[in-house]
């Protein structure tokens, strides 16, 4: 019964494999175990009629070691990578995302994959990040024949690694995801780690595109996550607190201005009251002087004027020796 889950490495045609197992490669050599040959032939026939699948959708199968050994790091996908790439695409297209997520190692980081690519090749990796670009790829002809008609390339960024992405190739997209150049969608991803992949960026130096490297994963799809809640119009509570603080400062400033104005005006009123009191006292003294009747002595004193000790002619002091200047020496 274990043969029912047997998956031949992509690139080897099923009829060719069945013929080889039967010892009749190219239809000539006989196999010494005819019962096994008959079983494999029947399984292949049932698979072609869709009676069952060679791949269990709830189980992630490992990639073939001899295909993994041919992969070359820090290069674009080349001819030597094709077998492993095709097997990863086909097996990922027939296994559920939940199965890959359960099988994924959450402890493997982008740094681990880039620094230990040879050792970790073929490992199932899982994580999450922000997908910023999804492009539809030309499907692989052999994958289409094996039931995987579509292919997408997703570029996922993680906060820890800034502008250094992870490239994930998937045969399907979950609801809500679509090919686009400018996305900001949080997603979960899981898949086989295939290689340290060299790609060309949109940047150019002296007319040549800049090349960078990133981990290349092949998985069953992407699982969209709810987008972070956008800040509301009031942008949280801090604007309210700031507004209250500003209003408080404004009220204190107005209170200080009013207090200073009141104190200044109070001082002005006190000074004006004192000046008014002095003016009233002066006016009262002048009034008393103007209403007082002059006496004879006052009038007489006012009639005498002196000019160097001599009585001024026309005054009552003229000819009166008693009124001579006592300081004049004769």
pTM of the model: 0.59
Check whether residue 266 and residue 280 sit in a common domain: yes
Angle between helices 34-48 and 14-21 (to 10 degrees): 160
* Contact of 151 with 138, CB cutoff 8 Å: yes
Check whether residue 92 and residue 207 sit in a common domain: yes
Check whether residue 68 and residue 86 sit in a common domain: yes
* Contact of 129 with 137, CB cutoff 8 Å: no
H-helix segments, 116-237? 117-120, 141-145
Looking at residue 216, what is its pLDDT?
A: 98
Q: Domain range for residue 277?
A: 239-292
Please indicate, yes or no, if residue 107 is contained in any of the structural domains: yes
DSSP of 255-316: HHHHHHHHHHHHHHHHHHHHHHHHHHHHHHHHHHHHHSPPPHHHHHHHH--EETTEEPTTST
Check whether residue 103 and residue 12 sit in a common domain: no
Q: Angle at CA 102, nearest 5°, toward 97 and 103?
A: 95
- In the predicted model, residues of the chain with pLDDT beneath 50 are 1-33, 302, 304-309, 311, 314-319, 322-323, 328
Please indicate, yes or no, if residue 233 is contained in any of the structural domains: no
Q: Which of the listed residues 262, 277, 292 is the one where a domain comes to its end?
A: 292
Helix (H) or strand (E) holding 216: strand 208-218
Counted domains in the chain: 4
Looking at residue 69, what is its pLDDT?
A: 94
Structure tokens at 302: 């006012």
Looking at residue 168, what is its pLDDT?
A: 98
Please indicate, yes or no, if residue 234 is contained in any of the structural domains: no
Please indicate, yes or no, if residue 281 is contained in any of the structural domains: yes
Q: Measure CA 322 to chain center.
A: 114
Check whether residue 304 and residue 194 sit in a common domain: no
Looking at residue 257, what is its pLDDT?
A: 85
Check whether residue 148 and residue 83 sit in a common domain: yes
Please indicate, yes or no, if residue 97 is contained in any of the structural domains: yes
Looking at residue 85, what is its pLDDT?
A: 96
SS3 319: coil
d(CA 121, CA 81): 12
Check whether residue 211 and residue 329 sit in a common domain: no
Q: Measure CA 268 to chain center.
A: 60
* Contact of 207 with 160, CB cutoff 8 Å: no
Q: Which of the listed residues 183, 198, 224 is the one where a domain comes to its end?
A: 224
Check whether residue 66 and residue 209 sit in a common domain: yes
Please indicate, yes or no, if residue 220 is contained in any of the structural domains: yes
Check whether residue 301 and residue 209 sit in a common domain: no
Please indicate, yes or no, if residue 176 is contained in any of the structural domains: yes
Query: Which residues are CB-contacts of 35 (< 8 A; sequence separation ≥ 6)?
Result: none
d(CA 187, CA 129): 6
Please indicate, yes or no, if residue 229 is contained in any of the structural domains: no
Check whether residue 123 and residue 17 sit in a common domain: no
Check whether residue 149 and residue 273 sit in a common domain: no
Q: Which of the listed residues 167, 194, 224 is the one where a domain comes to its end?
A: 224
Check whether residue 157 and residue 122 sit in a common domain: yes
d(CA 58, CA 91): 11
Task: For CA atoms 139, 141, 143, 145, give the dihedral sign.
Answer: positive
* Contact of 133 with 182, CB cutoff 8 Å: yes
Looking at residue 237, what is its pLDDT?
A: 61
């Amino acid at each position: 019964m274990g043969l029912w889950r047997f998956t031949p490495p992509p690139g080897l045609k099923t009829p060719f494999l069945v013929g080889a197992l039967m010892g009749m490669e190219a239809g000539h050599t006989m196999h010494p175990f005819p019962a096994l040959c008959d079983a494999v032939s029947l399984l292949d026939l049932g698979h072609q009629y869709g009676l069952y699948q060679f791949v269990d959708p709830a189980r992630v199968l490992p990639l073939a070691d001899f295909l993994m050994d041919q992969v070359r790091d820090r290069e674009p996908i080349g001819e030597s990578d094709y077998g492993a790439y095709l097997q990863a695409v086909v097996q990922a297209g027939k296994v559920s995302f939940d199965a890959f997520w359960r099988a994924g190692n959450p402890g493997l980081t982008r740094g681990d994959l880039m620094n230990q690519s040879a050792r970790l090749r073929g490992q199932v990796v899982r994580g999450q990040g922000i997908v910023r670009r999804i492009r539809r790829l030309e499907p692989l002809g052999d994958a289409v024949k094996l039931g995987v008609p579509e292919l997408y390339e997703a570029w996922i960024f993680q906060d820890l690694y800034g502008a250094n992405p992870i490239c994930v190739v998937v045969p399907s997209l979950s609801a809500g995801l679509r090919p686009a150049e400018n996305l900001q969608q949080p997603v979960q991803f899981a898949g086989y780690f295939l290689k340290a992949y060299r790609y060309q960026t949109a940047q150019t130096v002296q007319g040549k595109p800049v090349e960078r490297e990133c981990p290349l994963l092949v998985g069953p799809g992407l699982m969209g996550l709810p987008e972070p809640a956008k800040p509301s119009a009031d942008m949280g509570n801090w604007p309210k607190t700031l507004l209250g603080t500003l209003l408080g400062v404004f009220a204190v400033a107005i209170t200080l201005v009013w207090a200073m104005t009141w104190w200044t005006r109070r001082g002005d009123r006190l000074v004006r009251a004192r000046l008014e009191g002095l003016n009233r006292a002066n006016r009262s003294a002048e009034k008393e002087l103007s209403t007082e009747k002059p006496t004879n002595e006052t009038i007489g004193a006012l009639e005498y004027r002196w000019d160097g000790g001599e009585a001024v002619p026309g005054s009552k002091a003229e000819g009166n020796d008693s009124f001579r200047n006592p300081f004049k020496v004769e």
